[in-house]
Amino acid sequence: MSLSQTATARVAAVIGLGSMGMGMALSLKKAGFDVLGADVSADAVSRFVAAGGRGIANLAEEIGEADTVISVVVNATQTETVLFGPEGIADSLRPGSVFVSSATMDPAIARKLAARLEEKGVHYLDAPISGGAARAASGELTVMASGTPAAFAAARPALDAMAAKVYELGDSAGFGAAFKMINQLLAGVHIAAACEAITFAAKQGLDLAKVYEVITASAGNSWMFENRIPHVLSGDYTPLSAIEIFVKDLGIIQDMARSERYPVPLSAAALQMYLAASGAGMGRDDDSSLARLYAQLSGATLPEKAN
């Protein structure tokens, strides 16, 4: 990067340097941003600094440098802590800057957080992400975003650096979160259905590779069946996305549905299976571990990992 570019570089901050946040921070750097990174883990910050980023020592003192602050934490509670907790940054954000919130959460909470920040003259973009760690690293995420035109305008350069596709879903916070929750409802149910089906096939002694071939070419296919069942076929439950993610996300669906007086029997049945998998000790394993749960509950035999 030339000196003149450095002098005019936009400053972005990424809060939460997990597998998604780290990739997003590095994508921003690659696009020419001056990037600050913060995480509760000093290790994660060290790795980011080693990759050429700037670590933040004191969030409240330094966050005011950033034009764009991207929060890549796990849930609504952490987002609220980042903004309004004892060491929250809400009062340190520069007026006119934009806070981009990517955690999956109840749309009602996204609306409340946005209102509280907007009172302080800070824009809020409700911007849940999808695509996984590989796409975060390559700057090709999908973002389901909603917010005021001013929030979109302020966030645009960072969005362009991080995402291959930005859906603009409404002119206020909440719509992004709501679309993401609809996706998570389907994704969570489809993983559970895929595991119910493949293990039922195993219980009947069917050739599981053949089942995968036939189903992925048939009307019973889903994005999740196609993506997750290979983990079951290879017996490899290394977490790419953990059981606990859907304990959380289908939990949000239950809360939303209960509050809106909307029955969700499929999501409710799926949640019970994620809870059982977590309770049985598989919470941090890959979400395809639901297949192992079905096998435990039925005596079915699934493929084991080759050594």
Size of the site for a second copy (CB under 8 A): 65
- Residue type at 85? G
**Beta-carbon neighbour count of residue 280 at 10 Å?**
14
Stretch that binds a second copy, among 28-36, 79-87, 133-141, 176-184 (CB under 8 A): 176-184
Based on its alpha-carbon atoms, the radius of gyration of the chain, rounded to whole angstroms, reads 21
Q: How far is the CB of 8 from a second copy (least distance, A)?
A: 35
Our finding on whether 105 is near a second copy (CB under 8 A) is no
At 3, which helix (H) or strand (E)? helix 3-8
Residue of 84, 33, 39, 93 whose CA lies nearest to 61: 93
By rule CB under 8 A, what string of x and - marks binding of each residue 206-225 to a second copy? xx--xx-xxx-xxxxxxxxx
Q: Residues 279 to 298: which contact a second copy by CB under 8 A?
A: 294, 297-298
- Report how far residue 2's alpha carbon sits from residue 4's, in angstroms, rounded to the nearest whole number: 5
What are the angstrom distances between the C-alpha of 75 and each of 16, 24, 179? Answer: 11, 17, 16
- One of 74, 233, 268, 280 touching a second copy (CB under 8 A): 268
Toward a second copy, which CB reaches closer, 33 or 294? 294
Our finding on whether 303 is near a second copy (CB under 8 A) is no
- Residue type at 173? A
Toward a second copy, which CB reaches closer, 17 or 195? 195
Stretch that binds a second copy, among 28-36, 111-119, 188-196, 278-286 (CB under 8 A): 188-196
Q: How long a stretch of residues is the chain?
A: 307
Point out the catalytic residue in the list 112, 165, 180, 305. 180
Task: Output phi, psi for 161, to 5 deg.
Answer: -75, -30
Helix (H, G, I), strand (E, B) or coil at 164: strand
Our finding on whether 192 is near a second copy (CB under 8 A) is yes
- Report how far residue 100's alpha carbon sits from residue 128's, in angstroms, rounded to the nearest whole number: 9
**Beta-carbon neighbour count of residue 65 at 10 Å?**
17
Q: How far is the CB of 118 from a second copy (least distance, A)?
A: 21
Q: Is 30 a catalytic residue?
A: no
Q: Which residues of 214-243 are buried (b: 16+ CB within 10 A; e: fewer)?
A: ebeeeeeebebbebbbebbbeeebebbbbb
Toward a second copy, which CB reaches closer, 165 or 305? 165
Q: Residues 128 to 157: which contact a second copy by CB under 8 A?
A: 130, 142, 144
Our finding on whether 274 is near a second copy (CB under 8 A) is no
Q: Which residues are catalytic?
A: 180
Interface residues toward a second copy, by CB under 8 A:
107, 130, 142, 144, 165, 167, 169, 175, 178-179, 182-187, 189-190, 192-194, 196-201, 203-204, 206-207, 210-211, 213-215, 217-225, 227, 257, 260-270, 272-273, 294, 297-300
